[in-house]
A and B are shown apart, each in its own frame.
Chain A
Amino acid sequence: MVSLTIDGKPIKTKKGSTILEAALDNGIEIPHLCYHKGLSVAGACRLCLVKIKGRPGMVASCLTEVAEGMEVIAFDEEIDETRRLIVELILSEHKHDCLVCEKNGQCELQDLAYRLGIDRVRFSVEKPNEELDNSSEVILRDPNRCILCGRCVRSCAEIAVQDVLKFANRGSEMFIIAGLNQLLAETDCVFCGACVQACPTGSLTEKLARFQGRSWEFRKVRTTCPYCGVGCQIELNIKDDRIVKVYGVEEGPENKGHLCVKGRFGFDFVHHEDRLTTPLIKRNGEFEEASWDEALDLVATKFSQLKQKYGSDALAGLSSAKCTNEENYLFQKFVRVCFGTNNVDHCARLCHSSTVAGLSRAFGSGAMTNSIREFEKADVILITGSNTTENHPVIGSLLKHVARYKGVKLIVVDPREIELTGYATIWLRQRSGTDVAWINGLMNVIVNEALYDEEFIKSRTENFEEFKKVILKYTPDRVEKITGIPKRKLIEAARMYARAKKASIVFAMGITQHITGTDNVLSLANLAMLCGNVGKEGTGVNPLRGQNNVQGACDLGALPDVYPGYQKVSDPKIREKFERAWRAKLSPKEGLTVVEMMNAASEGRIKVFT
């Protein structure tokens, strides 16, 4: 910790932080426009200039590290005057149409102008009105409101790692360019909106939100993105019970404000006109609108009749990993208590059941062993069976970010050339379906070259000798024949993974959806354990899951063989416990999985599905 004073106020802050960070953390609002938390520092707007006792002139507080005993002057007449003149200059060519600007009320320039009391603007220049870039379906670019702070440029390069937005020209002719001076829709833009979130003014805005509400009218609700398993934290901006726009929550532990196009802009389905708003009952071959009472009565009667006629096990229910914990709990309880069967399952069965099977066997749980942001701490990350930038874009961006800015080496094992192969130090191209072989091949090299973590193996694993026997059969030569991966590259990758202080493994459905899916997962777990890459920061075996609440749906028992908390249905003691709690007789028989349900239904054994 470092102690300093800012305008006489004593402050303690982390070593290595800048004066600006220290000030903001302590509620001292030093003006700034180009600084944005989470982005690199440009020092371009010069509004955060402060004085330091004993040093001549002013320094940019965003670029100056704190030092013990430093006495900072953040506000005095000269500094205020300098800041005012800078803001006055910015205003002198800014389009003054706050009246209809989407950022009105939350524009950093507006706030600053007000705060500094800029009541006159000299130096005004007439600038021709530039055309808006309306090409994207979700982002509107208005160059006339741009103050060239470069936050969009940096977010596109550093958060999205997409490099679409750049500065063009120089001096007073500088402007922000998309691609090769193209319309945004014609560039490599992935419409993640990182730039929109970073823009302090109304230059980059959400197109769908245009004229849908003023900033002060919104009710804000923090929730989890309904799409993939990254679980980004989002903030809904709601007016009149309609979602108008979505921000990434900067404190979100996974996404730190970043979102992908789905999370940020893909909410139109919520209010889509094709959605049902009342129950429909099919009468005479036609759907007719009905009241909830009518519909529920009908369903309840039919279910009861069918249950009586065919027995409990002719009924089945599918829950969803996109539902909340509460909903999943209620649903499985409903199936178990009311239907009287364990025929309950959910979609995780189809993507990552092999992960759950494999990882529960290896570690006792099917979740990621480490948290997402720990990728920043790894030295090497092995990615396989995951086209991360397509399927888990926010993690994809993070992986590109760590490869480019944090010096993390990526090993990508994928038969296809995906975006991440462009960021990889090593790319291994296996023949489809030969995953066990190459993973064994890596372990073969690691064992032969004694690169494994002996201490870890001794204290934390079992059956190493037996394991070795199998592994030793997978010589690089043999593996090359099976997988098509050149021996030289396999060895290189094995050394890189094993020699790293902290190496992490990332995988997704390219690993799990094979007949050998469970074995693939187990092999990856073995690889991690072999090198002691479990239980440490920045390491681990990390399945990227498909839905935003896979964990919850499983934890809460939307599975045919377990009650909430993975308690076995087949265990009579446990069953009795649940019978007491739920005051109902429960079936002792494990239920059907999704796939089994479907087969049973087609054979006529399942009569009711919900």
Chain B
Amino acid sequence: MRLYRSHVLVGMDTFTLLAGARKVKEHLIRQIEKRGLSDEIKVLETGSLGITNRGVVLLIYPEGCYYVNVKPEDVPEIVEEHLLKGRTVQRLLFKGELERKAVALPESPLDVRRQSRVVLQNCGVIDPENIDEYIGRGGYEALERALFQMKPQEVIEQVKRSGLVGRGGAGFPTGLKWEISAKVASEEKYIICNADEGEPGTFKDRVIMEGDPHRVIEGMLLAGYAVGANKGFIYIRGEYALSIQRMEKAIKQAYEYNLLGSNILETNFSFDLEMRKGAGAYVCGEETALIESLEGKRGEPRNKPPYPGTCGLWGKPTVVNNVETLANIPSIIVKGADWFRSLGTKETPGTKLYTILGHVVNQGVIEVETGITLRKIIFDYGGGMKNGREFKAALVGGAAGCFLGKDMLDVKMDYTTLKSYKAVLGSGAVLVMDTSTCIVDMLRCILDFFKRESCGKCVPCRMGTDRLYRLIVDISSGKGTKDHPKLMLELAQMMNKASFCPLGQSVLLPLSSAFKYFEDEVMEHILDKRCPAGVCKMGEK
């Protein structure tokens, strides 16, 4: 193996690709060649480096030095100054201790929270398109251990004991879910990886798939072994071009290494894996609608019970798990349930990926132990409010989430705690808003989303979402009456009780929490025909 003096890691995720990462990489290689440094310096591709919305990001080892907003024309300077002469290019450097702490950086001598990276431990470290790098970092060790040293029931026990709950939103205990399917006698069973990630403001699953696709495959294999399934599907959001490409490549490589297919590692365990692309319906992230869609039908939820665990895809027992849930499994198997329980809170141990968005300094995905407060997410990892403005609210859990005001800043962001406040963690999206945001306008966007995404199957949601949207447009255009909020709550409460699936049921959450925290602001729109934040154009519709 050749030893290189320096490694340049080019973060290749959806953001950096759009910012021109490929071009930067090509320039780097060319410049390095031109200077005859090809034997000393290696350029590598990796997943997200954890820094979002800062253009192309490079990480240079051994210094552990990050460059952001790198343009092709900056490349000669970086090669000349940094790689040849050993002087950092100050103007491109990712600076500041606070900012540096704020993102989930890959392992580096400076990273103090190395231990909290479970799901993202390889992300930004390995080349996601190379299975050997995953294996080199302990990949597929869990599979090997399970296949050769553990009975399926032991795998389930370990997952159960770890206390892992689903990271897709509902927070159902994963081990229990597996056990239910394992107990059903059936020739055919299925594992579905829910990679539809449709929740607005959430892209954590994408970061995992782009950065460490084999971890997801290994998680599915372990699930398959545990419940006795021989076939898996990854239902992936159709717009996730890079995730699709990397997952596809990873599947191909895993087949080549006999980590997928028949008689995996010469055992009698066989597992086939296919990927199916979603067509952009939010509701198809709901597990039963997802299954209908996989079966080639209209994406509408099914009645529960029966739950997919006993009667899912083509009527067979089916485990549906979120990407992040599955990506936790390999570590749980290798390091044990106790290790996992030592992370995070007692009720929901482990780490959690949060997507931080909105008016914060640092946007992006972080992985931290559960139990972190909203304040820490925003002011520590998020780097605080952008442009020094005041915090107004955070929408936690996506469109189907809850507005949390200032008084909730110190609440722990985990499933159980939030539930006790009648809020939800959902997908872990944290949309931060400062005082320039108008709540009525936010609600308008949210209700527009629900109106578009309602599948239309049931009356309360199909018509309710449409009417709620019309009513909020009234308010935001100065045509609201005093009855509007009452009518809206009446509708949303009925939808909450009567809708067929959680999509329609959950509209009440953002609506009632917004009305609760910002009643005055809403009433100002109605009574004074004035938008305090100056966002709504009153008088227009």
Contact = CB atoms under 8 A, between A and B. Distances in A.
Given A44-B500, A92-B463, A171 B452 contact: yes
Interface in A19-66: 41-47, 49, 57-58, 60, 63
A46 B470 CA distance: 22
Nearest to A62: B303
A148 B462 contact: yes
Nearest to B505: A57
A49 B454 contact: no
B467 interface: yes
B498 A170 contact: no
A82 B451 contact: no
A226 B462 CA distance: 44
Interface in B119-143: none
A58 B454 contact: no
A43 B499 CA distance: 10
A301 interface: no
Given A46-B498, A122-B487, A171 B466 contact: yes
Contacts of A44: 457-459, 500
Interface string A77-89: 0100110011001
A171 B456 contact: yes
A60 B299 CA distance: 20
Given A43-B303, A90-B463, A93-B463, A171 B298 contact: no
B419 interface: no
Contacts of A42: 457
B285 interface: no
Interface string A113-130: 000000000110100000
Interface in B204-243: none
Nearest to A167: B298
B308 interface: no
Contact of B490 (A41, A43, A85): A85
Contacts of B498: 46, 49, 58, 82, 86
B95 interface: no
Contact of B451 (A86, A90, A169, A172): A172
Contacts of A99: none
A89 B460 contact: yes
B460 A171 contact: no
Which of B299, B454, B457, B500 is most buried by chain A, counting CB atoms within 10 A of its CB?
B457
Contacts of B303: 41, 43, 60, 63
Interface in B289-347: 298-299, 303
A45 B463 CA distance: 11
A174 interface: yes
A89 B491 CA distance: 10
Interface in B437-481: 451-460, 462-467, 470
Nearest to B454: A171
A174 to B, nearest CB: 4
B281 A57 contact: no
Contacts of A93: 463
Contacts of B454: 170-172
Contacts of B298: 167
The dominant DSSP class at the B interface is: helix
B455 A58 contact: no
B497 interface: yes
A30 to B, nearest CB: 14
Interface residues of B, number: 29
Contact of B455 (A49, A86, A170): A170
A86 B459 contact: yes
B77 to A, nearest CB: 52
Interface string A222-244: 00000000000000000000000
Contacts of B460: 46, 86, 89
B43 interface: no
Nearest to A90: B459
Nearest to A41: B303
Contacts of B457: 42, 44
A174 B470 contact: no
A174 B490 contact: no
Contacts of A46: 458-460, 498-500
Nearest to B302: A43
B494 interface: yes
B458 A45 contact: yes
Interface string B476-510: 00000000000100110010011110000000000
A81 B463 CA distance: 17
B494 A172 contact: no
A308 to B, nearest CB: 76
A57 B497 contact: yes
A93 B470 CA distance: 14
A170 B281 CA distance: 10
Given A86-B498, A167-B298, A172 B459 contact: no
A407 B168 CA distance: 35
A60 B491 CA distance: 18
Given A123-B467, A170-B281, A172-B466, A43 B500 contact: yes
Contact of B456 (A49, A58, A125, A169): A169
Contacts of B281: 170
A234 B229 CA distance: 51
Interface in A96-136: 122-123, 125
Contacts of B451: 171-172
A82 B498 CA distance: 7
A169 B460 CA distance: 17
A71 to B, nearest CB: 19
A216 B113 CA distance: 78
A125 B499 contact: no
A546 B498 CA distance: 50
Contact of B494 (A57, A60, A86, A92): A86
B4 to A, nearest CB: 53
Interface in A147-191: 148, 167, 169-174
Contacts of A148: 456, 459, 462
A82 B505 CA distance: 14
A42 B303 CA distance: 8
Contact of A45 (B459, B465, B467): B459
Contacts of A122: 487
A81 B493 CA distance: 11
Nearest to A149: B459
A70 B451 CA distance: 37
Interface in B160-219: none
Closest 6 CB pairs of A and B: A174-B456, A172-B466, A171-B454, A89-B463, A46-B498, A170-B456
29 contacts: A43-B500, A44-B458, A47-B459, A49-B498, A60-B500, A63-B303, A82-B494, A85-B491, A86-B498, A89-B459, A89-B460, A89-B467, A90-B459, A92-B467, A93-B463, A122-B487, A167-B298, A170-B299, A170-B456, A171-B451, A171-B456, A171-B462, A172-B462, A172-B463, A172-B465, A172-B466, A173-B456, A174-B456, A174-B462
Interface of B: 281, 298-299, 303, 451-460, 462-467, 470, 487, 490-491, 494, 497-500
Given A44-B458, A46-B499, A125-B467, 15 more contacts: A43-B458, A43-B500, A82-B497, A89-B460, A90-B459, A92-B463, A148-B456, A148-B459, A171-B452, A171-B456, A171-B466, A172-B451, A172-B456, A173-B456, A174-B462
